[in-house]
Amino acid sequence: MLKVLIISFILLGIAFLGLAFRIFFVREGRFPQTSIGKNKQMRELGITCVKHDELKCYKNGGGVGGCGCA
Angle CA(13)–CA(16)–CA(19) in degrees, nearest 5? 150
Map residue 17 onto helix, strand or coil.
helix
28: left (phi over 0), alpha (psi -120 to 50) or beta: left
37 and 58 in a single domain? The answer is: yes
Tell me how far apart the alpha carbons of residues 45 and 14 are, in angstroms, rounded to a whole number.
Answer: 36
Tell me: the pLDDT tens digits for 4-43? 999 999 999 998 888 787 777 776 666 666 677 677 787 7
Closest CA to 37 of 46, 28, 48, 24: 48
Is the whole model's pTM more than 0.75, yes or no? no
Tell me how far apart the alpha carbons of residues 41 and 56 are, in angstroms, rounded to a whole number.
Answer: 22
Tally of domains in the chain:
2
1 and 23 in a single domain? The answer is: yes
37 and 27 in a single domain? The answer is: no
